[in-house]
Structure 1
């Protein structure tokens, strides 16, 4: 088994350490066997590979705190077979590294796929560090049940109907040391109508009790105020979406979050912003995407038929059962979809800014790719867009960086390993040409991603180039 313990000296770096400090005086960082052992004027053996970044900015590797690794964007429309899905899934893992994301938190994954991805990484495969929320609980006939996950999701898990179901679901993930929390779906419907049942109070209480026994914090999916209040009653550790698409957070709600120490994950990119790509197709021409997203996926996102297919499925699944089929089919033509999406994006953005200004810890997460029927919720690149959106709504640049590094590491209970550039932590960091404190698109100037001391360019990560450092001119 490849332990992937790499040794490297990074020199001549402008350092943003993730703790709020900026060092302009060209720091050196010595990584030995995957861990940071010295920062500053380092001493190191003669044989150590040296990466001279020549004044470029070094900062901690990014953490996307809301992903769905087994889901491939547009696969429902393309009808990808299992072989194609597997190829895309492993391409997506490399894409995270090519975007500077060195750690991800999967918010709903089957035990089979979590085990497969974990074994792939342990065997030397290229991809971010993977942690998971598991089980992810949903009720029979509720959100995620029936056809929502679809066969293109791959293996999944059963709803929690009885107390026995809860015990069985917990047992399926026993012994997986990368499970760091559990998730409860508290979702009655995407619009104002309540069309899906919620987990019963008895089931919710058991989830909380069993999670507490295992020292697993509770993460909650909830968009509407009533459902968010249920999450607070359960003692939620983190809301995995900002929600607030209809009403803004009240002072009482914010006070309850503060009392519990609850985090808020943003998910502006995939939940709302990238839905606007159907009206802004030029965004798909960004050369940044070409390296990181397979051409077939980009073509799907350009295809009007894929968007029509998505809306047919979306409105069918999210409409009340009593609504006649012909009415459901007409909804995409009658509803002003662009206006609705922009309204939801603005409301969610305003709520995040309010929570941020109130001192609630904000965590960057994308929700890529939440449902394989969505044409364009791309893995990796969505994280860059998420951070750009957080800059755009008025969060201070240094705090945007913290939302994707230090804060999610703390939320996940991994501050001793990731999130900042400090002695004793993993050698996970990125090198960018532009200054992320001045330029919101600086992360698109990514030069190197370093995972555990393994430094490669985005191109090398995408090709899984084992030559890595020794073949590049930077190395002395």
Structure 2
């Protein structure tokens, strides 16, 4: 691994440390060999590198706790070949840094892709620190099976029908210290109808057993009440989506989450909010996007034919097989899609606020880019939108910052390295011009992202040589 030797003094900052504290006029943060050595009133030596932020706000590097790094938005419609997919994937890594995201948790990644990204970063490539949930278990003919991810996802992994499959899937990730948990797909259908089978009770028990042997906590994809109950019965460590598109969390559900110490990841931006871009195309003109998202991807998201094709695929995939094809094709015209998305977003947002107020630990995560047919689930920029949405639903600003820093670090078991600005931790931080405690869009005023003591502007991170 390439040794980090960066030495940097960050001076004259307004500090938000991730622990709930804010300090004005901090004299210095000293970073050496990638870690914070001192925070306080030291004076930098004349010969060492100094970054004078002139009163701007410094806070911990952000953590996006739900990403899918190998998926490129809209690649299905452009028919990207493998070389172009690789180009976009490395571009996406740089985009995270240009958005202040210094750590990501990939929620379902193939073993070969995790090894490729690891090698890329260790050879000097620019990108966030990567951790992963792996394997991601799903049943035969269930959610993710039968080519749902498409060839544009890249390498796939097989479903799990018995202990042999479970053990073999674990073996695909042996030899890496980046796996911090296991994901279980508990998905019967995107709407109210049940389309796919769940993992059997027998296989769920095997997954739980094999995960305990490896000291890997369980994370669950579960949107609906039945699936969420199944996750709690398994002792889930975190629900990787907020769910609650149609109902609200009951007192019993909240009580069981508290008993287990279960976290919940928000995923409002990609799962709901960014679907509204179809009806709000002006959002794609934001200069913030233009720096960080390739032009071809933005053009894809502006294309009416792409959205029509997307909904044709979506309704075909998520409708009961007994529905006639002509009826499925007519569904986009029969359903008020914009109204339905807004209703789901409002319901999920209300549930997150309820959970937060009840003391459930909330983790910011985006689900970028969950499926290559989604035209605009952009990597990096979605995290900024996620935090804005959390501000907007009424979560206090300091708690929003904690949801993207300290809380995910606790969930991942990485508080010795990331999540707060304290002596001994990685020198990962962001510098923003506006005050994030007063302005929900403050992260769009990002001046520098610092990873391991290496400070660059968003433009400089995006210009890094991908080789």
| Fold match by TM threshold 0.5 | yes
Aligned to 1:159: 159
Change (3 A) 1:335 1:109: same
* Structure 1 residue matching 2:448: 3-state secondary structure: strand
Is structure 2 residue 318 aligned with structure 1 residue 318? yes
Structure 1, unaligned stretches of length 5 or more?
Answer: 467-476
Partners of 1:3 and 1:124 within 8 A in 2: no
Q: In the aligned structure 2, how far is the partner of 1:149 from the partner of 1:296?
A: 21
* Structure 2 residue matching 1:223: 3-state secondary structure: coil
For 1:23-422, what aligned pairs fall within 5 Å after superposition? 23-422=23-422
Deviation at 1:175, TM superposition (A): 1.4
Q: Which segment drifts farther, 317-326 or 127-136? A: 317-326
* Structure 2 residue matching 1:355: 3-state secondary structure: helix
Partners of 1:218 and 1:238 within 8 A in 2: yes
Q: In the aligned structure 1, how far is the partner of 2:94 from the partner of 2:289?
A: 13
Deviation at 1:364, TM superposition (A): 0.1
Give per-residue Cα distances to partners, 1:243-292, cap 9 Å, x unaligned: 01111000000000000000000000000000000000000011100000
Deviation at 1:12, TM superposition (A): 0.5
Q: In the aligned structure 2, how far is the partner of 1:437 from the partner of 1:35?
A: 26
Task: Give the TM-score, by structure 1 length.
Answer: 0.97
Deviation at 1:42, TM superposition (A): 2.1
Give per-residue Cα distances to partners, 1:279-318, cap 9 Å, x unaligned: 0000001110000000000000000011011111111111
Q: In the aligned structure 2, how far is the partner of 1:111 from the partner of 1:302?
A: 33
Aligned to 1:440: 440
Partners of 2:13 and 2:56 within 8 A in 1: yes
Aligned to 1:4: 4
Partners of 1:14 and 1:27 within 8 A in 2: no
Aligned to 1:474: none
Aligned to 1:450: 450
Q: In the aligned structure 1, how far is the partner of 2:223 from the partner of 2:146?
A: 21
Q: In the aligned structure 2, how far is the partner of 1:396 from the partner of 1:176?
A: 37
Q: In the aligned structure 2, how far is the partner of 1:410 from the partner of 1:113?
A: 26
* Structure 1 residue matching 2:223: 3-state secondary structure: coil
Q: In the aligned structure 1, how far is the partner of 2:438 from the partner of 2:306?
A: 37
Deviation at 1:3, TM superposition (A): 1.8
Structure 2, unaligned stretches of length 5 or more?
Answer: none
Q: In the aligned structure 2, how far is the partner of 1:224 from the partner of 1:289?
A: 33
Aligned residues: 466
Q: In the aligned structure 1, how far is the partner of 2:465 from the partner of 2:110?
A: 30
Deviation at 1:41, TM superposition (A): 1.2
* Structure 2 residue matching 1:291: 3-state secondary structure: helix
* Structure 1 residue matching 2:205: 3-state secondary structure: helix
Aligned to 1:472: none
Deviation at 1:48, TM superposition (A): 1.5
* Structure 2 residue matching 1:12: 3-state secondary structure: strand
Deviation at 1:4, TM superposition (A): 2.7
Q: Which segment drifts farther, 60-69 or 38-47? A: 38-47
Q: In the aligned structure 1, how far is the partner of 2:411 from the partner of 2:438?
A: 27
Q: In the aligned structure 2, how far is the partner of 1:403 from the partner of 1:62?
A: 9
Deviation at 1:27, TM superposition (A): 3.1
Q: In the aligned structure 2, how far is the partner of 1:175 from the partner of 1:83?
A: 27
Task: Give the TM-score, by structure 2 length.
Answer: 0.99
* Structure 2 residue matching 1:176: 3-state secondary structure: coil
Give per-residue Cα distances to partners, 1:367-423, cap 9 Å, x unaligned: 000000000000000000000000000000000000000000000000010000000
Deviation at 1:43, TM superposition (A): 4.8
Segments of 4+ in structure 1 off by > 4 A?
none
Aligned to 1:473: none
Q: In the aligned structure 1, how far is the partner of 2:441 from the partner of 2:246?
A: 30
Partners of 2:2 and 2:124 within 8 A in 1: yes
Deviation at 1:465, TM superposition (A): 6.5
Give per-residue Cα distances to partners, 1:5-40, cap 9 Å, x unaligned: 311000011100000110112331000000000001
Partners of 2:26 and 2:41 within 8 A in 1: no
Partners of 2:397 and 2:438 within 8 A in 1: yes
